[in-house]
Amino acid sequence: MSDMTFEAVAFSESATRSRVVTRQFSIVVDEPAQLGGTDAGPNPVEYLLASLVGCLNVVAHVVGAELGIQWRRLQISASGRLNPDRFLGRPTSDRAGFQQIAVRLEVDSDAPAELLSRWLKQIEQRCPVADTLSGPTPVALTYSSVMRKSEAG
């Protein structure tokens, strides 16, 4: 299979709220009221955690099927703390993002522990979102200006 490209485009609706379109889906990104938003949707870091647990779920099922693991229930949770100082322009040596993300896969299965350990290791190695977050992934920001007719002359 060749490389696949995915894209998301955000349309700013306010200082804290945007409408993001990806494929045929439109999602709202907003901040909670205590961070100045209207709480119309999850904030960006909550979507990041949701992306991680969603991807882990897909990979867990793929790997589980390959290894013949069956379960009655699978629940995946992720949490992380970040220091908002850099985001707010305050001096800090902390990075802007999460310092660490803790993920817990709670599985109700009769599979032996050794098999579940192999399953977990493969999930960790094969999840694209976990890989993106764990390794250095360059992010290149550019901008373009929109020239208005009156400015064009």
Q: Are residues 22 and 59 in the same domain?
A: no
- Nearest to 134, CA basis, from 25, 55, 35, 26: 55
Q: Are residues 79 and 113 in the same domain?
A: yes
Q: Which domain holds residue 88?
A: 43-136
DSSP H helix total and E strand total for the chain: 4, 5
Q: Are residues 64 and 111 in the same domain?
A: yes
pLDDT digits (tens, 9 = 90+) for 64-105: 999 999 999 999 999 999 998 898 899 999 988 999 999 999
Half-sphere exposure at residue 32, Cβ-oriented, CA atoms within 13 angstroms: 3
Q: What distance in Å separates the CA atoms of residue 109 and residue 120, rounded to the nearest whole number?
A: 13
For residue 11, tell me if it sits in a domain.
yes
| Alpha helices per DSSP H over 6-127 | 44-67, 113-126
For residue 148, tell me if it sits in a domain.
no
Q: Are residues 91 and 67 in the same domain?
A: yes
Mean pLDDT over residues 36-41, rounded?
Answer: 95
For residue 147, tell me if it sits in a domain.
no
Answer for the pair 60, 74: CB distance below 8 angstroms, yes or no. Answer: yes
Q: Are residues 86 and 124 in the same domain?
A: yes
Answer for the pair 78, 52: CB distance below 8 angstroms, yes or no. Answer: yes
For residue 153, tell me if it sits in a domain.
no
Q: Are residues 69 and 127 in the same domain?
A: yes
Q: Are residues 86 and 56 in the same domain?
A: yes
Answer for the pair 45, 31: CB distance below 8 angstroms, yes or no. Answer: no
Q: Are residues 52 and 19 in the same domain?
A: no
Q: Are residues 80 and 105 in the same domain?
A: yes
pLDDT digits (tens, 9 = 90+) for 98-125: 999 999 999 999 999 999 999 999 999 9
Calculate the dihedral angle through the C-alpha atoms of 122, 80, 37, 146, rounding to the nearest 10 degrees: -60
- Return the H-helix or E-strand segment holding 109: strand 101-109
Q: Are residues 97 and 60 in the same domain?
A: yes
The 10 Å Cβ neighbour count of residue 91 is 6
Q: Exposed (0-12), middle (13-18) or buried (19+): which is 42, by Cβ within 10 Å?
A: middle
Q: Which residue has the tokens 């200006």?
A: 145
Q: Say what the pTM is.
A: 0.90
If one counts the domains in the chain, the total is 2
Q: Are residues 29 and 71 in the same domain?
A: no
Q: Are residues 27 and 54 in the same domain?
A: no
